[in-house]
Amino acid sequence: MATDVVVPTLGESITEATLGQWLKKPGEAVKVDEPIASLETDKVAVEVPSPVAGVIGELVVNEGDTVNVGAVIARIEAGAAASTSATPAVEDRTAVGKAEAAAPAEPASAPVEESGDALTLSPSVRRAVLEYGVDPSKIRGTGKDGRVTKDDVIAAAKSQPKTAAPAAAPAAAAPVASAAGERKEERVKMTRLRQTVAKRLKEAQNTAAMLTTFNDVDMTAVIEARNKYKDLFEKKHGVRLGFMGFFVKAAVMALKDVPAVNASIEGDEIVYRDYVDVSVAVSAPNGLVVPVIRDAQNLSVSGIEKTIGDFGKRAKEGKLSMEDMKGGTFTISNGGVFGSLMSTPIINPPQSGVLGLHRIEDRPVVRDGQVVVRPMMYLALSYDHRLIDGREAVTFLVALKNAIEDPTRLLIDL
């Protein structure tokens, strides 16, 4: 008897998704609630669990197909899991015995078994594997159920010993020689998330009167405070003290002073809010996602850091929900973690402002008539000029700058 696997409810107003990846193949055993497929919605990736224990039967749709909520995507033959899973167990024990008896011959077959795992890599991970030239079978995955993520591939590439390069060179030389002058292209279909991001960002450019104002901030005081208290902070709160806690807290204070930056336009009305829901960009296996720190005005620096840490962990595990992404009145995007010196971020409608953070860089500045070196960061505020005037944008950035350069202001709300 076969059991249908259907597309689960994905969230309010979301009626369809894209089947991004099959996590199980026909004939493979599956347990109850074990993920068998990954769906890509407009905002997050959602895993489809197995409703019963059994063996994967027919896969009704292909990777990349668009599916509606409630549609059948696969069928599971129930009741066959025990017999199916028992046989490999016997074979595994037999294989172990053979391996012990014929140790010299076994290593040659090991890569064949591991290479099958590469078939379950997501498209973005496959591209990263090709780009960085690493062996995915030798990477320990940190994603959900031990799956390899793009971050794992990048980390593995960085940790590769330099002495390994010459050994790999001869193998790579042959294809290069045989394909001299050949130019290759690869076409990869955009994920639903990337399509949605592209649509919304272009919509923002077409709708809002966007303008970006810059300032810079001396990070000396925040760096000193962080270095002084980071160990005690982690011991007490169980989370690392980063810079985002300071910036979110400072942004909340600046938004109270300049409420227009936290407002939005709806039709011919301006909506002002007495709360601040901050959207923060975090890295996930399928790209950047933007969960929301709700009621940030009520949180301490430790509460903000705990929330961001939880978002980062769940994003890597693919456990962020649609509810985590909804809303948001203001966005903070930290391009500095990737080395960005300066940028003009695009607002996320219906929000009216986005703060861009960048890398910290030692630069010469004048203090008390003397040229000194300080750790400086450029700040960028992109805003909807239909609602926010230049004076308000500059006032916001100056208030933020003052709070970061003198963190005591964060304690006394000044």
**pLDDT tens-digit series, residues 345-379:** 999 888 999 999 999 999 999 999 999 999 999 99
Whether the predicted pLDDT of 194 surpasses 70: yes
Is the pLDDT score of 218 beyond 90? Answer: yes
Is residue 41 within 8 A of residue 286, CB to CB? The reply is no
What one-letter code names the amino acid at 224?
A: E
Do residues 170 and 243 share a domain?
A: no
Q: Is the pLDDT of residue 332 over 70?
A: yes
> Has residue 98 been placed in a domain?
no
If asked whether residues 165 and 209 sit together in one domain, one would say: no
Q: What is the pLDDT of residue 93?
A: 42
- Same-domain pairing of 142 and 197: no
Whether residue 185 lies inside any domain: the answer is: no
Rounded mean pLDDT, 148-162: 76
Does residue 389 have a pLDDT over 60?
Answer: yes
What are the catalytic residues? 385, 389
The reply to whether 222 and 274 lie within a common domain is yes
Residue type, 288: L
Residues 22 and 156 grouped into a single domain:
no
Please give the residue range of the domain that contains residue 250. Answer: 193-412
| Range of lowest pLDDT (224-238, 319-333, 348-362) | 319-333
- Residues 207, 62: Cα–Cα separation, whole Å: 36
Q: Which residue has the higher pLDDT, 82 or 30?
A: 30
Looking at residue 300, its pLDDT comes to 92
Q: Distance between CA atoms of 134 and 14, rounded to whole angstroms?
A: 37
When mean pLDDT is compared across 45-59, 301-315, 374-388, the lowest value belongs to 45-59
Residues 73 and 171 occupy one common structural domain: no
pLDDT band at 84 (very low <50, low <70, confident <90, very high): very low
- The predicted model gives 45-69 an average pLDDT of 82
Which residue has better confidence, 339 or 373? 373
Report, as an integer, the average pLDDT of 192-211. 81
Asked if the model's pLDDT at residue 168 lies above 50, the reply is no
- For the packed helices 123-132 and 150-159, what is the interaxial angle rounded to 10 degrees? 10
Most confident segment among 22-31, 105-114, 191-200, 212-221: 212-221
Does 337 fall in a domain? yes
Contact 354, 330 (CB under 8 A): yes
